[in-house]
Structure formats: C-alpha cells, structure tokens
Amino acid sequence: MAASFMARTFLLMTTALAAPAMAQTTDRASPPSPRSTDATAVTSQDATAEAATVPQDSAGADIVVTGARLQAIKDIAAKRSIGVISDSISSDEIGTLPDFGLGEALTRVPGISTVQNNGRGEAQFLSIRGLNADYNLVEIDGVPLPANEISRRNVSLDVIPSSLAARVEVYKSMDAAMNGNAIGGIANLRTRSAFDNGAKPFLGGRFDIGRWDFQRTRGGNTPSGQAELVGATTFGPDHKFGLVVAGSYFRRVSASLNSASTTPLYVDPTTGQRLNAAVSDAGNAAVVPSVRRWLHYDNLRQRYGGFAKLEFDDHVLFKGALTFAKFYHTNDEDRQANSVTPNTTVTAATGRFANIVNVTTAGGSVTNGNYAQADASQFFQKRGIQYGDFHGELDPGSHIKADFGVNYAIATYSQDATTAVFRIPGGTNLAYRYTITPGRFPQFDFANPGYVFGAANYSIYDYQTVPDDQKEKALTGRANLRVNTDSADRGFGFATGLFARFVDRRYDRAVNDYTPVAGATSLAPFVVPQRYTPYNGNGQTMIFFDPDAVSAFFAANRGKFTANPTNVQTGLQSDYTLTEDIKAAYLLGRYALDTLRLTGGVRYEATDLTTGSYAITTAGRATTLTYGQQGQHYHDWLPSAQLDWDVTGRLRARAAFGRTLARPNYSDLAGRQTIAINSGTNFVTITTGNAQLRPRRSDNYDVSLEYYVNRDVLFAAAGFIKTIRDEILTVSNTALQPYNGVTTQVTTIRPVNASGTVIRRVELNAVVTRMSFLPRPLDGLGLSANLTLLNPTAPSVMMANGTRRQLASLVESADVVGNVRVFYTVGPVTVQGAWNHLSPLLLTVSTTDPTQDVRYKASDLFDAQVRVKLSRALTIVAQGKNLSDNLPTRVTGPAFNLLSEELANGRAYYIGALVRF
C-alpha cells in the first residue's frame, strides 16, 4: 500500500506544473484523447491506420494487405497512437468487423471476454481484463447509450451489429475527460465517416447463409444467415457534405438443451441422516439430486439494424455530423421441459429421508416421487435501441479546438411469456433408482417408465401469462474546449469540459396466473408427435406438447380456471420507476516534450437518483400496496494522472493513476420485489432491490511497456492494481417458510454492499502480422495472442447466521483470460482460427449455505474462417463457430464438483461472400 501511495504521489507531482486540467492525453501521432470527438484527430488517426495497410517488404515492393493481417496492422497503429493504455479491433478491407455482432468482435481484443446471453452462445455483456461487466462502460462515438436489459446498466452487445464499427477502442486507463463510471474500462465504438480514407466513395458488405448442427425440433429449420451493407460518399461543392448509410440483418435458427439438477441434497454416509450443508461439512456426503430436469429450447433469433450519418466539413473551421440509428433484437422461443422430483420428507425420529433409501456416494432409490411434470413456455422477447446524435467541432486555429454535442436515445425491453404446466401427483408410481457422478447429469431409472412417460397421466396444473415491459430514455449533452493539446503541440496545454446525462426508466410487469378448479384435462390431447432424446438421457425421451393448443383450450374454458388472488399484488410489487441525473465537469492539464507527455486533472461528478416502487403493508389479513419514492445524492472527485514516455523510437512506457466508480445496476436500485415460482420444483424465489445501494469506488494504478519492433510486430506487457471499496454482491438466502399459506422453500435474492477488494492483474500481448523471417510460403503466417492473469483478494459477505465468509473469487470475473488468433495468407487464400479461454466464473452467492454457490466451469471456444479472394470486389468466406463444441456448464456443491446446469448449443457453419465496390 505504501508503494501504491508513493506511485500515486509521484504521478500527481509530475503533473503539478501542467495546470490543473486536461481534456485528453496525446502523443506525437495521436488524437488529443480517446474520449475526444475531435474530427481532425480522428481523421489523423484513421490515416495512420490506413497507411499501415500498404506496408513494404524488404525489397521495397508494395504488399496488398487484407483480412486478418490488415486488422492486426491497424490495431498496432491504433494502440501506438492512443494516449492512454488501450487496445482495439479495426474493420477489415470491407469496412466491417468479421464477426456476427459487436460482442463477438470484442473477444478478439487483448484482455477482453464477454458474458453470454444465458449461455446461448451469443456475446451480450463486456468484460474488460476479466472483470465483471458491471465494472465497464460501452459507448458509441463517445456517448454511453441507455440499457435495453432488465438486469444491467449497460447496453446488450448482441443488439449492435458489427457493421456499425470502423473501430472499437478499449481504454484501460482513464483520464479526467472520460466518463467516471468505468472501473474496468471503456469500450468506445467509432462509427465510420464519409471523410475516412481520403473521402473516397465506398460500398461494401457481406452475405452468408449457415446452419447450426443443434436443430429445432418444432417450428422448422429454415437457414440461418446474415446480410450487411455499408456505403459512404461525399458530395456537394468541394465535397463538403458526406453520407454514411449501413444496414444489417442477422438470423439464427437453432436449438439448445439445458440439463438441470439444481439444489442437491446431502446424506451423512455414516449415520444415513440428512445433512444440512449450511452448518455441516458436506465434502464427503452422499449426494441426492433434488430434481432431474431437461429444458429444450427451440429458438428463432433475429437482429435488425439501420444507421445513417449526414456530415459536413468546410475543410477550414467547422465540422458537424447528424446521426440516426435503430437496432433491435428479437428472440422467439418455444421451451419444453420435463422434470421429476423426489419426496423429500424427513422422519423426525430418525433424521432420515422417509422415501429415499439405500443412499451411497454412487446413487440410491426413491420409493415415492413428489411429482413428475411436463411444462411448455413460449417467450417472445424484443430488445431495441434507437438514438439521434448531433456533434459539432470548431477549429479556429491558434491551437484552440472545441466540440459539442447532444444525444437522445431510447432503449426498450419487452417479453411476452406464456407457460402451461401439467403434473402427475406424487406416489409410488414415480419410484426410481438414481445414479450420480460428480460433475455429470444424474440418471433416473424408473420402476414404471410407462406411467412416467404416459401423457394421459398428466393433468393441467397451472396456466400463466407474464408480460414485461421496460423503457429507458436518456438525454446526454457534452462540450469540450482544448488549448494546445493536439498531437503536434509542445509545452503547456489544458482542456476543460462539461457533461450531463438525464435518465428516465420505467418497468412494468403483470402476472396472470390461473389454476384449474373443475374439469381438469390431461396432457394427452396436446401432445405432438415430435419427441427429443437427450444426449445424456440413456435413451429416455422428452414429452413435447403444443402450447398454442393449450392456450386455445384455456381461452375456450375460462370457467374451469380461477385466478390467483395475488396476481395484482405480485405484478405491482415488481414495477418501478427510476430517474438518474448525472452532471460532470473536468479540468485537465498537459505538458509535452518531444519524447515525454505528462497529464493530470480532476473530474467532478454529481449524481441524483430517485426510485419509486410499491411497498407491502400487512395488518391482520389485509395487505396494502403503497407507492413510495426513495432517493440518493452523492458526488465524487475523480483525480487522474498519466505519464507517456517514448524511451526509444520503438519502446514506449506508460503509467497512470485514476479514480473511478461503478454505479449499481438500475434493477438493483429499485426497492421492489419480483416473485417467481419455479414450475419445476414449486420453490419460490423473491428478488428484491436495494434503493440505498452505494456505488463501487476504485483507485486504479496502471503501468504498460510496449515494444513496437516495426509496423508488423508488437510486444506489450501491462499490469494494474485496483483498490475497490463497497463491492456489490447479489446474495441469496434460502429457508423453508410459509408462502400463500403453504410451507415451501423460499429463496430471497438481494444486492448488498460487501467488503472491499484489491485486484492485481498482468497482461501479456504479442502481435506478429507477418512472420517475414520465415522462408516462403511460411512468411504468410501471422499471430495475435494475449494472456491476462488476475490475482484478486476476494470480498467477504455477511452470512445469515451473523458470520462473515470470504468468497472463492470475484463474481463474474475470470482469473485467467486467453485469446489466440492465428492467420495464414498464401496468394488469394487466408485461413484463420481464433481460440478464447476463460477460467471459472463465480455466478451466484448464498448467504445461508456456501455449497449453494454456483459458478461456470472453465470454457474454451474455437472459431475458424477461410477466405478466398476472387477479385478486388469479391471474396468467398467459409467459417465455423464453436468448433470446440463448448458446453456452458454451471456447477455447485462442495468444491463445485456437482453439475447444476449444462447447456448444449452445438456448432455452426456458414458460407458467404464479402463484396466491395
């Protein structure tokens, strides 16, 4: 800690002479700041990267560079030109990122990983240097967009098409001009400009068709595929006007199988009694699966996007851009599930399970089942984002520049969910023998399989519709003034600016739950011929039925159902409103020599938060819901300092200090309750907010050493220490308690501020775009590789019994992140493969029983691509996704050696073309 204090003091002292503020950090070949919207700077940087696309070999002959090598050369140029510690990914010669979405493209950036959309194989949330996505910020052209997801503050990356980006820059150290809500870092998507590349007209795109090898069982299997088109041109007198238009469509038709066996039970192998893992060591206990559940998902996922930018550049004083964009992502899902649970009654006199016998570490027998269930849910989910942005820049000369802008954006999330549940009541006809192997799906061998798999034995148990609707609006304004801070400027300079953001969010949920009261019908009339045999089911099949037919039956027989009396209460308890106003100002100074640049500054951010929700008041038998509001006001002074030193013409050293924060997720701040009854177990889950949740705050220390051998080769090593206070954890408390007059297992989930944590990390990065030292044709081989190692002091959490325990790791943070991309070009053919590794990720934390913590197992993803360039205008592309057949797997139990869920998505294969005119 003393060393950290001394380092911070040194950095601040070195900038004391540079005036107390600056808008951005620059070097001799960079724009003023990664946060800057200075168009001259952007053009300069793009020109630097573009110049790298035509390198020369040792004989001086021009080499035409395309594809993966072109991207790698651009990435090296961008890293060298940006004044803070950063990495990036650039567009290829077609002007697009060669991935299916922005999230996928970012996994190629050193130290970057993503959180998948419920494990379904689509990158949704950003993780920088292995850190939780809540630590990070995503911007488009320097503006954070509103969130289109219930559970996160960030925008979902799978909604944004990769065709939108000319380059995505990931800033890992911060200056005072940057948004302070970024402990991990900022990913800034820079959209294409018509004035890039000498303002030459451009038209390019990609089109492909594909197939997932895990196909839908119902609903048909039309092809997957995508189409993207990007065009840019300049026009008018002296070509002062520019226009960029982009459109995209993505379609994924596939299926997934989720094998779930959650919340295991434990038996003492010596006494045969049920063992409470919350108070006893379950490390050597025999395991009893509390449920065996298969969930089969048929999905149609589609993404639509449109983007238009009108630009003006008088080539003297003023530049401006007016941008409109709209993207949305839909998911049409048919989810079929089959489950069986045991009767877990415990005999008080013996402390043993009454209906689970012959228990060993390898298995046991259930003499009486609790119930068997077949349920189907239909979900139609839509997430969208649209925005309009105006940005202007003034360059009156005399080393003075200014920019200003306003952005208005709307993000939406909606989901219509319909669920029908059929059950066989408990009894001896559900008896079975089970076998269990740690880390594998439990196997059930039924004594009467004809009864368990007979649709006529299932009766309708519950019918439910739950619509969710969310809208978030954000108005953002910004203005910056810079004096003598350009890349070529020397001596003292300063910058100052203002930032304001006003967010208004509304969330509404309705619950319509019905139970049969008369004339209950069996499952048999609704069963469809399609059945599915799970790969881990030992030949057993799943019963599928038609949920549309059940909905039609419900509509025609409303008199046979009664509404749950708590429907209105349950829906209103989930609703909330939220407004958040952020006002910021900064002052930053810079002092530049030919080989040394020092910057320092301070940012002030004030936050006003108001949340509204319904609170429950119970007096006797009467329950009253009262709407109320809660608020917070807090402000932060965020100092920062940077040192950027060209040790030699090839070696660059950087050091930085910055104070940042990470505001809580909106849904965590809402003082509301969302109640869900698990249709597979009848267990109740109550998710609550915490309106007094404090933001995380962090002091960050970064160092980086970068060696640029030449335009084609880069080696870099970086390290950081983050001291985080008020870490936020989502904890659960599980207990048997009354709910609606019935004693059942109730899990309460709530976000809390936990203890602080210290995170240490090392990053190693190497880029060799062409191994020219090898003999031909091996000199066409290239490599981009990085390894990020995290060594955190995990936070501790208060347990329900009043004790504290330290967690196994940070939540949703990987201790090891590895990316390797190998590419080889010979003549018109380019072959590349990309491998991404993540160490285990802790997902949920229990405050009652540590064995109920859940984490993802380590994952390894491998993708490959082959390009054949037929002409300058046409390239054929074939690629494979998830060729490693990675199965996102959640594990739980002692030492995380028991399977909780395993999701099979399968591989995907695509063939198509890239075009450019």
Per-residue confidence (pLDDT) for residue 372, from 0 to 100: 95
> How far, in Å, CA of 713 to CA of 264, rounded?
52
Instruction: For CA atoms 95, 101, 107, 112, give the dihedral sign.
Output: positive
> How far, in Å, CA of 603 to CA of 658, rounded?
10
> How far, in Å, CA of 620 to CA of 358, rounded?
47
Strand partners, 743: 738
Q: Is 43 helix (H, G, I), strand (E, B) or coil?
A: helix
Q: What is the pLDDT of residues 553-610, one digit of tens each?
A: 999 999 899 998 888 888 888 899 999 999 999 999 999 999 999 999 999 999 999 9
Per-residue confidence (pLDDT) for residue 459, from 0 to 100: 94
> How far, in Å, CA of 784 to CA of 618, rounded?
62
2: part of which helix (H) or strand (E)?
Answer: helix 2-14
220: buried, middle or exposed (CB in 10 Å: 19+, 13-18, 0-12)?
A: exposed
* Pairing mode, strands 841-846 and 728-739: parallel
> How far, in Å, CA of 595 to CA of 651, rounded?
11
| Mean pLDDT score of the chain | 85
Residue with tokens 């490959």: 864
Q: In the numeric block, which tokens belong to residue 629?
A: 């509001």
**Amino acid letter, 655:** A
> How far, in Å, CA of 268 to CA of 841, rounded?
29
Q: Is 41 helix (H, G, I), strand (E, B) or coil?
A: helix
Per-residue confidence (pLDDT) for residue 163, from 0 to 100: 74
> How far, in Å, CA of 309 to CA of 317, rounded?
20
Per-residue confidence (pLDDT) for residue 33, from 0 to 100: 37
> How far, in Å, CA of 442 to CA of 893, rounded?
14
This prediction has a pTM of: 0.86
Q: In the numeric block, which tokens belong to residue 821?
A: 């991309």
Q: What is the Cβ-side half-sphere exposure of residue 18, based on CA atoms within 13 angstroms?
A: 36
Q: In the numeric block, which tokens belong to residue 140?
A: 């488009």
Among 483, 699, 708, 756, residue whose Cα is nearest residue 11: 699
Phi, psi angles (nearest 5°) of residue 307: -145, 135
> How far, in Å, CA of 593 to CA of 80, rounded?
17
> How far, in Å, CA of 913 to CA of 227, rounded?
10
Residue with tokens 């930085």: 656
Among 472, 842, 844, 502, residue whose Cα is nearest residue 670: 472
Specify whether the CB–CB gap between 163 and 230 falls below 8 A: yes
Instruction: Pinpoint the alpha helices (H) of 63-118.
Output: 67-81, 102-106
Q: What is the pLDDT of residues 153-163, one digit of tens each?
A: 877 888 888 77
Q: Is 602 helix (H, G, I), strand (E, B) or coil?
A: strand
Which residues have a Cβ under 8 Å from the Cβ of 714 and sit 6 or more positions away?
76, 79, 706, 707, 708, 765, 766, 767
In 400-490, beta strands by DSSP E: 400-427, 432-435, 443-446, 459-483
Q: Which domains does the chain have, with CATH numbers?
A: 2-916 (2.40.170.20)
User: How large is the greatest C-alpha to C-alpha distance in the chain, in angstroms?
Assistant: 94
Which ranges of the chain have pLDDT less than 70? 1-67, 92-101, 117-121, 519, 616-623, 673-682, 732, 734-744
Specify whether the CB–CB gap between 680 and 337 falls below 8 A: yes
Among 904, 790, 787, residue whose Cα is nearest residue 841: 790
Residue with tokens 């509301």: 672
Strand partners, 412: 384, 471
Strand partners, 606: 583, 635
**Amino acid letter, 334:** D
DSSP character at residue 147: P
